[in-house]
């Protein structure tokens, strides 16, 4: 996904431009820190106090210049209008968040309002059109059959969450003024790998195969996750 995001940023903004980035639901700050290290001005928004503490600890270990380029706010991604003015950011990230939001449309509309004209909205969501793949490949036939008719599922943390369908999100993005510009699949081949599994010796070849599949039909359509990039009109 990082390679996909960088491709979109490089293709949309002049080389060397310092972008204003908002990472909503930043978790431990991995992506936010990466972009701050690349020279961008990054704001991370996260409601989980434990994750905020981890992100702040990681930031504290960075050189002063990077610390000055990144700020961390503890708050709910649905309240972006409380913290920021419309059009404040060139890039807004919302990765791995929508599955925990029962009604995502208001959140998405708020994220779109944060974008300056021509700004990039990057979403990472569970693929509602491929929920049967994981149980099917694991031999859970009843689970696979049930997954065809729902966008609800139980994740590996044991939480009941939801997925999104490409068609529905395409319509939503058009409706909030940030129509879909590009989309990719993420975790086409590796979704069934055990948590904590050791990376293979040829990890670069694995990543190359995943990256290729993530931009190639029909493979990307059955990926575990979808990476959607909308552009503010």
**pLDDT tens-digit readout, 65-81:** 999 999 999 999 999 99
Q: Tally Cβ neighbours within 10 Å of residue 201.
A: 8
What is the block-wise mean pLDDT of the chain (233 residues), using blocks of 10 residues?
96 95 96 97 97 96 96 93 96 97 95 97 98 95 95 92 98 98 97 77 92 98 98 95
pLDDT (0 to 100) of residue 201: 81
Alpha helices by DSSP H, listed for 61-95, are 64-69, 80-83
Reduced to 3 DSSP states, what percent helix, strand and coil does the chain have, rounded to the nearest 5?
Answer: 40, 25, 35
Question: pLDDT by residue (tens digit) across 92-121?
Answer: 999 999 999 999 999 999 999 999 999 999
Residue 93, strand partner residues: 23, 122
> Nearest 5°: phi and psi at 168?
-70, -45
Dist. CA 233–CA 230, nearest whole Å: 9
Task: Let me know if 24 is exposed, middle or buried by CB neighbors in 10 A (0-12, 13-18, 19+).
Answer: buried
């Amino acid at each position: 996904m990082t390679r996909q995001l960088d491709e979109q940023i490089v293709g949309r903004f002049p080389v060397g431009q310092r972008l204003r980035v908002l990472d909503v639901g930043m978790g431990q700050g991995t992506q936010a820190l990466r972009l701050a290290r690349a020279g961008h001005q990054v704001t991370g928004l996260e409601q989980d106090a434990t994750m905020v503490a981890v992100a702040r600890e990681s930031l504290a270990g960075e050189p002063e210049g990077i610390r000055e380029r990144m700020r961390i706010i503890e708050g709910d991604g649905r309240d972006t209008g409380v913290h920021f003015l419309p059009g404040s950011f060139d890039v807004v990230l919302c990765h791995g968040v929508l599955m925990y939001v029962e009604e995502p449309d208001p959140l998405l509309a708020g994220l779109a309002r944060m974008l300056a004209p021509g700004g990039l909205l990057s979403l990472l969501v569970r693929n509602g059109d491929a929920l049967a793949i994981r149980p099917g490949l694991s031999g859970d036939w009843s689970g696979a059959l049930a997954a065809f008719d729902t966008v609800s599922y139980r994740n590996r943390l044991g939480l009941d969450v939801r997925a999104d369908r490409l068609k529905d999100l395409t319509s939503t993005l058009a409706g909030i003024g940030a129509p879909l510009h590009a989309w990719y699949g993420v975790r086409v081949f590796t979704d069934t790998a055990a948590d904590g599994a050791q990376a293979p010796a040829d990890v670069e070849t694995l990543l190359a195969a995943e990256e290729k599949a993530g931009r190639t039909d029909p493979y990307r359509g059955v990926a575990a996750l979808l990476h959607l990039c909308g552009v503010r009109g």
